[in-house]
Amino acid sequence: MAFTSDNDKSDILAVVLCGLKSEPCKASAVLEEQHSVAKVVSLYTCDDANSVDSLFSCELEIVQQLKEAVSDSLSKVSAIVVDSKAFKSIGKFVHKIFSSRMSRKKLLVELWFAIRTKNGGVIF
């Protein structure tokens, strides 16, 4: 699963955990420039998740975005990248989602990987 070849047909679906929508997500921008990544899905931190209802709503929104990405691209998530601006809360949501065996089976490829960027550094 290399990110360097321009000639390879790829089915890599990468999910990027980002900060707030009002801030740039550098990891998404870098991945979108990679020809070997078929699709990049940016999941943004919910900025209004202050109550139980808004937390639940945020989690449902993330689940829906993941399901849509998988059905639209006809492939499962191969990579999870955590941008340096991502909040801990979005990581907790995604961890909770993928803690479910059923969700993992529906949404993740069998061999997937996760990367965390640091201080806005380049991923590759």
Q: How does residue 6 score in pLDDT terms, banded at 50, 70 and 90?
A: very low
DSSP 55: H
Name residues whose C-beta falls within 8 Å of residue 89's C-beta, 6 or more positions apart in sequence: 45, 46, 49
Q: What is the pLDDT of residue 18?
A: 94
Q: Does pLDDT of 70 surpass 50?
A: yes
Helix 88-99 with 52-73: angle, nearest 10 deg: 60
Q: What pLDDT, in 10s, does the model give residues 10-57?
A: 778 999 999 998 999 999 999 998 888 889 999 998 876 566 777 788
In this predicted structure, the answer to whether residue 81 has a pLDDT above a threshold of 90 is yes
